[in-house]
Amino acid sequence: MDYSSRSRRSAPVTILDLFSRPLEDFNDDRNRSHASSGDAIAVDVRDGGDCYILMADLPGVSKADITLDFVNGVLVIKAPHHQDGGVQAQNYLLHERNSGIYERMLAFEDVDSSGIEASFNEGMLTVILPKITRTSGRSSIQVK
Q: Residues 72, 9: contact at Cβ < 8 Å?
A: no
d(CA 69, CA 129): 12
Q: Residues 108, 77: contact at Cβ < 8 Å?
A: no
d(CA 100, CA 83): 9
d(CA 11, CA 32): 36
pLDDT for residue 137? 62
d(CA 22, CA 1): 8
pLDDT for residue 136? 56
- Each residue's pLDDT tens digit, 1-10: 444 444 444 4
pLDDT for residue 33? 35
d(CA 81, CA 39): 9
- Each residue's pLDDT tens digit, 74-124: 999 999 887 665 555 567 788 777 778 889 999 998 999 999 999 999 999
User: Domain limits of the chain?
Assistant: 11-130
Q: Work out the end-to-end distance of the chain between its first and last CA atoms, rounded to an integer number of angstroms.
A: 80
- Each residue's pLDDT tens digit, 23-47: 443 333 333 333 444 577 899 999 9
Query: Does domain 11-130 fall into CATH 2.60.40.790?
Result: yes
